[in-house]
Structure 1
């Protein structure tokens, strides 16, 4: 006897269950059941898949309990972004020019090392900004960070941040446990009176990756920060040859995203992000 088509559709979920029991990660490129087994990225590649999925897929993904994914990166073409927007009814909300600009922004950021596939929060922010061009809750005027270390034992970090909001210019200074914490405190002090809801956003994880090790301490770095507002978690990314600047960019993206979510509850946008990041 054979497994049968009905049971075969459970193959992916069974594979993930076994991986969890074994406390081992399920490889993304695992045939049939990996989350990238039916993922498509290159523009020409995606264009062909949209015409006939069988040209690049050995079996329909649903027959093994998996899902087709179209990823966005510096390799993407217009078919990629159109696929993602059409899939969730957002295509009509963006003009051809807006879709082109969104794709160009994604390709430019990925080229600079942003790896949006690992930063669903930054990707969601790009989509929301494309839907609401010109919507800016605050703008950075400047920031300054200093760290003083005495006797090779104790350090003290202070920061000053100035931002412009709808009701004027705000400046705050604070000390913190390192530059990221000090900047975070200052930004919240500047925005708390205008946007008190950001108090719910908290950092839960922080990762740094060197992008060009040949440059040593002068190398560009990618900072990934995971956040939570007690309802959901998301990750934002910043890239720079200055680790403080990269951290600041990830911090600001997280706050801006939370404000945009609160200003417009749009489940279709969140569905695009969920599908995009599941397929990485």
Structure 2
């Protein structure tokens, strides 16, 4: 049975930007804005217009971006103590941002009022009420974020309730309860949210941080308690341990709990949007992330694989297509011939189960595993290998030669350089590039050369690079396994290379990566 709609507010560009190693340019934020609008997120919180020139510039730029499904939200604080809202520069900046909605935060915990604001409890209530009323008078939809609500509710429930009543009485469209320290148990969030909903009688939202790993669970518990807005960041990153992960909250609300949030076709964009935002943030999307991670629908054990082939419900809670993800059958010594057959069928759907090519590929995979290869995390390399065995692989390019030059003076590392020669048909490209170390230099040079023939390669970039020693007993002469994760902004794939030479191992993984991209573009994979 379909229940009431739950509205989502994404704070990737504001709360998410407070995460470690996260920094967005104006154009980064515009790209995220467009991706979230296509995803159908109703409210997109984009930053505080009074925090600096970059946010001001973004709001100017955002006015030129047509939004089909979303409202842009400017974020800020209540007016300062002993100051009227119309005299506060921060409130003026909120109005000048030109957004249809604003989100303001105020103190709900008396500890913060006394020790941080250094003012009286009565003055704090005035700041909340007058700020909400003023912004409503300016024609804004007002979302009031009750900062540290649950901590305040635990310590002084009477005063915490007075703060949210002040916002409601002043006309706030939403009163949002914030677990700012991220340490409230989901059961406590549910009980407190129920009480607030009963007493306020106005739309209530939830904003959870993840400091005890319960942000998603607490957000869902708040919805069970009556909240009808969930705030978070799309892939969960944010200050400290992050925020409620909307790419987990959204499908759980809609597919599991029956609360509509977005259209069906927008739900099918869920994984793509997560990858776009992770790419813009220069982060690797964790394989273990629910719904959108590379491992969310991965199967390795032979019995599990067999069961999924017979009935996917046996080991998948939903079809991966619903959220735009894919099923992955991992190749390893655990899976065997049945698992490999599934991978071959992706390349050639007409392949019969008793075809001799299956055994040939399996023997090759086993031999390569003895040399240190591992394909369970490198499905792209496996698919390229299968194409070669089936006679369906025609190399797009050949690396004829390469040379690397590295210099070090007085113990100080300097930039490495690489030269490479690539052949495509009867044409050659000789090029050079630099990088931070020999592997990076060669990577840059090869991409540069191949891009001359295949411009789509310019969109490919490396997102993760892992090296593992395979034969530890051989010390510095050991084989190394290199895993490279690459993306073109929409798809993500991993390739593997093994060698006694780390540069050669890296190069093998890189060549597979570029070949995989070109084979996908050709429609072969």
What TM-score comes out, normalization by structure 2 length? 0.38
Q: Distance in 2 between matches of 1:186 and 1:140?
A: 11
Offset of 1:131 from its aligned partner?
5.0
Q: Distance in 1 between matches of 2:439 and 2:348?
A: 36
1:231-254 deviations in whole A, cap 9, x for unaligned? 111111111111111111111111
The answer (yes or no) to whether the contact 2:330–2:377 under 8 Å persists in 1 is no
Offset of 1:192 from its aligned partner?
2.0
Which secondary structure does the structure 2 equivalent of 1:192 belong to? Answer: helix
Which secondary structure does the structure 1 equivalent of 2:503 belong to? Answer: helix
Offset of 1:257 from its aligned partner?
0.5
- 1:40 maps to 301
Aligned pair 1:227/2:486, yes or no? yes
CA 1:129 to 1:180, structure 2 compared with 1: closer, same or farther past 3 Å?
Answer: same
Aligned pairs (5 A) from 1:190-201: 190-201=449-460
1:27-55 deviations in whole A, cap 9, x for unaligned? 9xxxxxx98997434xxx79xx96xx6xx
- 1:7 maps to none
Q: Distance in 2 between matches of 1:37 and 1:97?
A: 26
Aligned pair 1:62/2:314, yes or no? yes
CA 1:155 to 1:84, structure 2 compared with 1: closer, same or farther past 3 Å?
Answer: closer
- 1:102 maps to 361
1:139-188 deviations in whole A, cap 9, x for unaligned? 12221112110111132312111222114232222222211221122212
- 1:30 maps to none
- 2:350 maps to 92
Unaligned runs of 5+ in 1: 1-16, 28-33, 54-59, 270-280
CA 1:221 to 1:168, structure 2 compared with 1: closer, same or farther past 3 Å?
Answer: same
1:71-122 deviations in whole A, cap 9, x for unaligned? 4335665444334445x69442479243333223322222211111111221
Greater Rg over alpha carbons, structure: 2
- RMSD of aligned residue pairs (Cα, Å): 3.8
The answer (yes or no) to whether the contact 2:422–2:428 under 8 Å persists in 1 is yes
The answer (yes or no) to whether the contact 1:40–1:70 under 8 Å persists in 2 is no
Q: Distance in 2 between matches of 1:162 and 1:227?
A: 22
Higher relative contact order, structure no. (Cα contacts within 8 Å, ≥ 6 residues apart): 1
Q: Distance in 2 between matches of 1:37 and 1:202?
A: 24
Q: Distance in 1 between matches of 2:496 and 2:366?
A: 15
Aligned pair 1:247/2:506, yes or no? yes
Aligned pair 1:185/2:437, yes or no? no
CA 1:148 to 1:78, structure 2 compared with 1: closer, same or farther past 3 Å?
Answer: same
CA 1:122 to 1:150, structure 2 compared with 1: closer, same or farther past 3 Å?
Answer: same
Q: Distance in 1 between matches of 2:413 and 2:522?
A: 43
The answer (yes or no) to whether the contact 1:143–1:160 under 8 Å persists in 2 is yes
Deviates more, 1:202-211 or 1:170-179: 170-179
1:174-215 deviations in whole A, cap 9, x for unaligned? 222211221122212322221111001001111111112222
Which secondary structure does the structure 2 equivalent of 1:92 belong to? Answer: coil
Q: 1:153 aligns with which of 412, 422, 428?
A: 412
Task: Give aligned pairs, total.
Answer: 232
Q: Distance in 1 between matches of 2:440 and 2:512?
A: 16
Q: Distance in 2 between matches of 1:156 and 1:184?
A: 14
Offset of 1:69 from its aligned partner?
8.2
Q: Distance in 2 between matches of 1:151 and 1:73?
A: 46
Q: 2:466 aligns with which of 207, 221, 245?
A: 207
Q: Distance in 2 between matches of 1:113 and 1:253?
A: 16
What TM-score comes out, normalization by structure 1 length? 0.67
CA 1:138 to 1:150, structure 2 compared with 1: closer, same or farther past 3 Å?
Answer: same
